[in-house]
Structure 1
Amino acid sequence: MTGAILVTLFCFLPTGIAAIVFASQVSDKWKAGDAVGAAESARKARFWVIVSVVVGCLIWVLLFVVGLFADTSTTT
C-alpha cells in the first residue's frame, strides 16, 4: 500500500490510483480467506506501481529535455 500511495503522489496519478485500489483489496480478501484473490490483487497492484514509476520517469525526462530546449531557444 505504501508504494501505491507514493507513486500516486510523486509519479503518475491515474495509474497510481489503480495501484491504490488493488492494494486496498489485498487485506480484505486475505481476511475473508481468499488467498488466491489476495495474491491476484497484490500482483495487479505491483503491476500498476511499476507502470506509474515508468510513466512518471518518462514524464520527468520529457520535461527536462523540453526545459533544456526552451532555455536555449529564447536567447538572441
Structure 2
Amino acid sequence: MKKHKRDPSQQAFSRGYKAGISGRSRDLCSTQVINQRAAWLNGWHEGRNDQWEGMTGVSGIHKNPTVHAATANV
C-alpha cells in the first residue's frame, strides 16, 4: 500500500493532539512555522479538553485524529 503525504498542518494537529491528550505542556511545540504551530496548538487544546473530559483510552478513540487517518485509507 502506498503512503500518501499528508498536509503538514494536519500532521502538526495530530502531534499536538497526542501531546495534549497525554498531558504534556504546550511549550513542547517544536515547530516555528506559523501555520503549523497554530495547527499544533489547536490540536493540543482539543487534546487537553478531551483529557479533562475523560476521553482517554478506549472511551476517546472516536475523537483521536490518528485513528481516523488510519481507517480512512482502508
**Which is higher, the Rg of structure 1 or of structure 2?**
1
Q: Which has the higher helix share?
A: 1
Q: Same fold (TM over 0.5)?
A: no
